């Protein structure tokens, strides 16, 4: 049991404030490059995109819990698709839970960047381990168990092996990668509505349109609005931290 106590101590010790991002422009380049390497090339997106899908489905789940729904399960698949099932009343609650899929990776990315910039990077890593571990309870398929388990193990490895002095850089890079991943997923769902309409029933925007009578293009625009706002806010947070010109910092 000694290892369990040590592991728990490592998690709890992370919930403390340390130094924020070092104001070094070259560090911004390195952090951004690492994020791009995670979220842009097809070879790495094949794996990192699974994490983005997991965050997407967790967004649905947390939104459903906020309106009193009961989560009955989350399914994840290796083709980057997923599904969250909940029990509760329809109407606004169903629309609310259905909306917070595509925007949540961007919102999570913004929170991680804020944590890195303000000195709460270690707390973000500890919190991430707890959230991902708790989410394993809701997984209902084998592919999902492999994906969620892999994400949880990766989070544990980051918490255990990343020194406190590098935690801010790692968390900031992960945050930027999630923002890029959110944009990439949004572009993918747009292509479903424009060029791959045979897959339309898998689109959150299409599902929301069927439930509300509001056209899919409106929901796509709302997704884009939240993702864009998160991206702009993240940039404004990072600009002063890396001594970028005043007009860039807003």
Identify whether 16 is part of a domain: no
H/E element, 76: strand 70-76
- Higher pLDDT among residues 243 and 73, named by residue: 73
Residue-level pLDDT at 184? 96
Per-residue pLDDT band at 14 (split at 50, 70, 90):
confident
Tell whether the model's pLDDT for residue 247 goes beyond 50: no
Flag whether 177 is in a domain: yes
Burial class (CB in 10 A: 0-12, 13-18, 19+), 7: middle
The count of structural domains within the chain is 1
Supply the range of the domain harboring residue 142. Answer: 31-242
Looking at residue 200, what is its pLDDT?
84
Residue 7 lies in a domain: no
Asked whether the beta carbons of 172 and 113 are under 8 A apart, the reply is: yes
Alpha carbons within 13 angstroms on the beta-carbon side of residue 7 total: 11
Please give the Cα distance from 122 to 163 (Å, whole number). 9
pLDDT (tens digit per residue) in 81-129: 999 999 888 789 999 999 999 999 999 999 999 999 999 999 999 999 9
Instruction: Please say whether the beta carbons of 32 and 105 come within 8 A.
Output: no
pLDDT at 23: 63
Mean pLDDT of the chain: 90
Contact assessment for residue 219 and residue 186, using Cβ atoms and an 8 Å cutoff: no
Classify residue 84: in a domain, yes or no. yes
Higher-pLDDT residue of 128, 242: 128
Task: Please list, residue by residue across 146-167, b when 16 or more beta carbons sit within 10 angstroms of its beta carbon and e when fewer do.
Answer: ebbeebbeebbebbeebeeeeb
Name the pLDDT band for 212 (thresholds 50, 70, 90).
Answer: very high
What is the band of 238 on the pLDDT scale with cuts at 50, 70, 90?
A: confident
- Its sign, for the CA torsion 102, 105, 111, 114, is negative
Note whether residue 6 is domain-resident.
Answer: no
Is residue 8 in some structural domain?
Answer: no
């Amino acid at each position: 049991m000694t290892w369990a106590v040590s592991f728990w101590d490592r998690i709890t010790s992370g919930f403390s404030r340390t130094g924020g991002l070092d104001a070094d422009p070259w560090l911004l380049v390195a952090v951004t490059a690492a994020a791009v390497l995670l979220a842009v090339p097809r070879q790495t997106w094949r794996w990192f995109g699974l994490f983005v899908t997991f965050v997407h489905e967790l967004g649905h789940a947390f939104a459903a819990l906020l309106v009193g729904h009961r989560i009955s399960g989350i399914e994840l698949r290796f083709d980057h698709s997923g599904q969250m099932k909940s029990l509760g009343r329809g109407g606004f609650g169903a629309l609310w839970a259905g909306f917070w899929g595509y925007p949540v990776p961007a919102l999570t990315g913004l929170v991680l960047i804020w944590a890195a910039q303000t000195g709460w990077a270690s707390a973000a890593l500890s919190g991430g381990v707890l959230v991902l571990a708790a989410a394993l309870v809701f997984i209902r398929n084998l592919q999902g168990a492999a994906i969620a388990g892999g994400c949880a193990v990766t989070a544990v490895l980051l918490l255990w092996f990343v020194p406190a002095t590098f935690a801010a850089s790692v968390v900031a890079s992960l945050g930027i990668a999630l923002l890029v991943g959110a944009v990439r997923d949004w572009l993918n769902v747009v292509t479903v509505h424009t060029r791959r309409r045979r897959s339309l029933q898998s689109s959150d925007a299409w599902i929301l349109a069927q439930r509300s009578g509001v056209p899919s293009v409106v929901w796509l625009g709302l997704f884009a609005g939240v993702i864009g706002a998160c991206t702009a806010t993240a940039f404004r947070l990072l600009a002063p931290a890396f001594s970028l010109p005043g007009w860039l910092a807003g």
